[in-house]
Chain A
C-alpha cells in the first residue's frame, strides 16, 4: 500500500520537475512545478469534442489506458512492503496489463481515421514491441540472481555487494530509464515538443482527445514515470529501513526527473527510421545484465 501512496506523490511533481529543469537549462524561468497538475485539473473540468469518425472505442480507450496504468501500479512494491497484489511472476502481469492500455490507445488512434494518428499508432505499436524483451530479460536476470520470481521478493533479496553487481545496478537503471522514456515517448525516441506532427509518436496519437479523456491520458503518463522511477528506487533500497528508504525514494525520483530534463535539453531526437534499432540495442544491454548475473552466480565454470 505504501508504494501506491509514494508513487502518487512522486507523480504529482515528476513532470513539473522535468519541465522546470528544461526551462532552467534553456535560461527561462518556466512554469511552476505544479503546472502539469493544474493543467490536468483544468482538463477534468472541460467538455469534450469527439470526432465524427470515431466510435465508442475512442471514448472508452482513455479509461482503459488509465486503468491499466493504475493496475500496473498496484503490483509495484516498495522495498520490504509488498504491492497491493503480489504473486509469483507478477512482473509478467505488470507488462501485459500495460500492453492492454497500449492496445487501446493504438486502436483509439486508428478510430479517428486521421492519417497522422495512424502513423503515430504504427510507430507506438512497433516501438513498444521492441522495448518489451529488454524488460523481461532484465527481470529474468534478477529472478536468476535472487532465486525468486515476484517483484517484491526479488527486490527484497537483491543485495548490492560486489563490483559486478554495481555494474549490473547501473546497467539496470539505464535500461529502466530508457524503457520509461520509450513508454512515455520522451526525448531520444520521441519529441513531445516538436512543432511538426510528422515527427511525433505519442503526441500525435492523442491529437483528437480532449477534456476529461485527455486529462486521463496525461495523468496516466505522469503515473507511468513515477512507476518506473519506483522500480529504479527498488533496485537500491532492498534492505534499507523506512526512515531512510522513503527520503531516498524521493531523492532518486527527483534525480531521475532532473536527468530526464537534462537529456531532453541537451540531446536531439534519434532519426525516426533508426529508432527501432536503438530500442533493440536496449535488449542487448539487458542481455549483458543477464550474462553479468551468470558471472556472479559462477555459472560459467
Chain B
C-alpha cells in the first residue's frame, strides 16, 4: 500500500522534468504498476477474501479503515482495465499536442492522480479521508477535462463540471457530518450502527442525501446536466474514462451505501427504479437528436446509467420483499452492465476520437463514407454500437437479459401495484432498446456510410497500428462476455452475494440459478454466429461464378445524384423529433424566404436539454437577477471596500456582545 501511494507522489514531482515523450510513458507505467497491485487485491477479494486494515490515523480523523470486499474488487478491475486501455490509447491520441509541454505535464499528473483517487475511493472506509479522495478525483478530473483550455467552450464545460462536482461533495458532506455528529466517529461502520438504532425515516433521508451526491456523479436525470457538456470537451481518452469509470464511481457509491445503510429497501427500490426509468428514457431520447458525435455518446451514458439503476432498483425491491433470487438477478444485471457499459462506451469514444483525429470534426452532418477510408474504425464502432443496443451476440444483451429476467421473475408472484411497476419498466426497457437502435443506426449510418456529406480537404487515413491494440482488446472482451457469460458471472458471485446475503446469509441462490439463466444465451449466440458464417459461406459458393457489376446507386429515375441529396442525420430523425416534440427542445435560428427575388435564407437548429433549462438555467437566471439588485454595493471604490471591512469587523465584535446583552435583558425580564 505504501508503494501504491508513494509512486503517484514521486511521479507528480518527476513528470515536469521529463521529456515530452517520457511523460506519457512514465504515467502509464505508474498506472500499470498500481493496477497490478490493486488487481492482486481485487482478485483475492473476488475469490472470497476480505481485506480489513485499520491505520492509526490522527486526532481529527480517528482510525482510518482500509477495507476491500468483493464489491470494491469488481470496481477495481473495471477501473484498472479502462485506465490501462485508455492510457495506452491516450499516448497516441496526445501525439498531436506534443508542442504543449507544460500542459501535457499537468495532464499526465492529473491522469495518474485520477487513477489513484478512484482506487482509493473503492478502499477507504473513513468519511473524512473518503471526502479527500473524492475531492482529489473531482479536481484531477477537472484538470484532465480542460486540456484544451484555450477553447472557451471547453473551459465553460470544465467549470460546469467542477461546480456540479462540488454540489455532489456538498451532499456527501452533509450525510457524513450528520452521521459523525450523531455517533462521533468517521468510520463507515458507524453509518450502519446509527441507522440500525434509528428505525423509520432516518435511514431513508440519510440515504437520499447520499443518493443525490452520488447521482450527480453518476448522471441520473435530473442531475445529469454536466455530463453532455464535459464529455465532448474532454480529450477522447478522458471522455472514455469518464464515461466508463468516473460516472460508475457514483454507482459504486450508491451500491456501497445500500450495503451500509439499513432502511426500508422496498421504498428505496421503487424510487431508484423510477429515477432510472426516467434517466434511461430521457437519455436516449435526447441522444437521438444530437449532431455532435461525442455529445450523442454522452447522452447514451445517461441512458445506460438508467439501465444499471433499473438493475439496482429491482435488486433493492428483491431485498425488501425477501426474495433472494430477484435481488441476485437485479444486482448481477446492474454490476455486469457496469462492466459492459464501461467496455462498449469507451470503445465508442475511442473510435469517435479516431474519427475526430482523421477529419477534425465531430459534427455528424459533415461526415459520411468513412468506412471506405477507415474500415477498422468502422468495424469497431459497429461492434460497440450493436453491443450498446443490447443485441446478441455481444455483451450488452447479457446484462439486459438478466434485468429482463429479474423483471419477469418478479412478475410471477407479484401483486397489482408491483405488476403495474413491472409492466412499465418492461415497456421502458424495450423502448430504450428500440430508441438506442434508432440512434446507433443513425450514428453509424451517417458517419461511416454513404458518401462524404462535406468535402474534407486533407487526406483521411487510419491511425498507427499500436493505437488499435487497446481497442481490439476491448472488442474482444465484448465478444467474450457475449459468447461466454458464464465465467464473468462466476466472478460476480461474491459481490452479488454481498446483497442477496443480506436476506439469508446461508442461502446462495446465485450460482445455480443464474447459471441456468445465462448459459443458454452464450450457446444461442454461438449458434447464431455459426449460422451467419454458414449462410455467408453458402452465399459465397453460390455467387462464385456469377457476374458482379458495379454501377451508381439507383436514383429512382433521377440521373444526377450527388452527395447532397443523401439522407442526413436530421432528416433521419425528423419524424421522431416531430413525435417526441413535447420532450425535446430546439433552439432555432431561421430567416425565411421572402419577396419575389429572395436574397438570402437560412435555417439553423440546435438541440437543447429541456431539463437543463428548467433546473439549471432558469434558477440561475433568477438568482442572477436577484443578486444584480445588490450590484450597487460593488461599485469598485476603495473607500467603500474599506467601509464594508469595517462594518464586518464591527459586527463580528458587536453581535456576540449584543446577543449577551439581549439575553441578560431577557433574564432580567424573566426574573421580574
The residues of A with any CB-CB pair to B shorter than 8 Å are: 44, 46-57, 60, 63-64, 66-68, 70-71, 74-75, 85, 87-90, 92-93, 96-97, 99-100, 102-103, 106-107, 110-119, 121-123, 125-126, 128-130, 132-133, 136-137, 140, 143-144, 147, 149, 197, 207-208, 211-213, 216, 273, 276, 283, 287, 290, 294, 299-300
| B445 and A144 contact, CB distance less than 8 A | no
Most buried by A among B368, B369, B386, B433: B433
Q: In the assembly, what is the distance between CA of A255 and CA of B524, in Å?
A: 32
Which residues in B have their C-beta under 8 angstroms from that of A68? 528
B517 touches A287 (CB 8 A): no
Q: A71-B527, A99-B391, A122-B572 are in contact. Are A211 and B416 (CB under 8 A)?
A: no
CB-based contact A129/B543 at 8 Å: no
Closest to A272 in B: B575
Q: How far is the CB of B268 from the nearest CB of chain A, in Å?
A: 24
| B427 partner residues in chain A, CB cutoff 8 A | 133, 136-137, 283
- For the complex, give the distance between the alpha carbons of A14 and B575 in Å: 33
Residue of B nearest to A283 (CB): B427
User: Who on chain B is nearest to A84 by CB?
Assistant: B527
B434 & A130 in contact (Cβ 8 Å cutoff): yes
User: B571 contacts which of A44, A51, A122, A126 (Cβ < 8 Å)?
Assistant: A122
Whether, in the assembled complex, B275 has its beta carbon less than 8 Å from a beta carbon of chain A, the answer is: no
Q: Please give the distance in Å from A286's CB to the nearest CB on chain B.
A: 9
* Cα-based distance from A54 to B450 in the complex (angstroms): 7
Q: Decide if B549 is an interface residue (CB 8 Å cutoff).
A: yes
Q: Are B411 and A53 in contact (CB under 8 A)?
A: no
The smallest beta-carbon distance between B194 and chain A, in angstroms, is 39
A122-B573 contact given A57-B449, A100-B392, CB 8 Å threshold: yes
A106 to B446, CA, bound (A): 11
> Can you list 11 A-B contacts with CB-CB less than 8 angstroms, sorted by A residue number?
A48-B549, A49-B551, A57-B371, A64-B532, A88-B516, A110-B567, A115-B565, A119-B567, A123-B575, A126-B575, A212-B546
- Asked, given contacts A63-B535, A87-B520, A207-B556, whether A110 binds B575 with beta carbons under 8 Å apart, the answer is no
Of the candidates B378, B412, B535, which one forms a contact with A147 in the assembled complex, judged by CB atoms under 8 Å apart?
A: B412
From B21-29, B211-219, B397-405, B638-646, the one touching the partner chain is B397-405
Nearest chain A CB to B409 CB, angstrom units: 8
Across the interface, do B532 and A67 meet the contact criterion of CB distance under 8 Å? yes
Contact of A115 among B517, B534, B549, B567 (CB under 8 A): B567
Bound-state CA distance A99–B372 (Å) is 25
Are A93 and B575 within 8 A (Cβ)?
no
CB nearest to A93 among chain B residues: B524
Q: Does B266 contact A (CB under 8 A)?
A: no
For the complex with contacts A129-B435, A129-B438, 8 further pairs of A-B residues with Cβ separation under 8 Å are A55-B371, A63-B539, A89-B404, A96-B391, A113-B553, A114-B553, A118-B571, A121-B441
> Can you list the 4 inter-chain pairs with the closest CB atoms, starting with the nearest?
A118-B567, A129-B434, A110-B445, A87-B520
Q: How far is the CA of A68 from the CA of B531 in the complex (A)?
A: 9
Contacts of B528 in A (CB 8 A): 67-68, 71, 97
B32 at interface (Cβ–Cβ under 8 A)?
Answer: no
Q: How far is the CB of A82 from chain B (nearest CB, A)?
A: 12
**When chains A and B are docked, how far (Å) is the Cα of A133 from the Cα of B389?**
15
Are A140 and B386 in contact (CB-based, < 8 A)? no
List CB contacts (< 8 Å) of B381-395 with chain A.
Answer: 382, 386, 389-392
Are B553 and A208 interface neighbours, CB within 8 A?
Answer: yes
Tell whether A88 pairs with B575 under 8 Å between CB atoms, given A48-B548, A211-B543: no
Please give, as numbers and ranges, the residues of chain A lying within 8 Å of B565 by CB-CB distance.
115
- If A71-B527, A129-B434 touch, whether A66 touches B391 (CB-CB below 8 Å) is no
Known A47-B548, A92-B404, A93-B392; contact A52-B567, beta-carbon cutoff 8 A? no
> Whole-angstrom distance from the CB of A291 to the nearest CB of chain B?
9
The CA of A130 and the CA of B435, in the complex, are separated in Å by 9
- Residues in B with CB closer than 8 Å to A129 are 431, 434-435, 437-438
Distance in angstroms between the alpha carbons of A136 and B390 in the assembled complex:
15
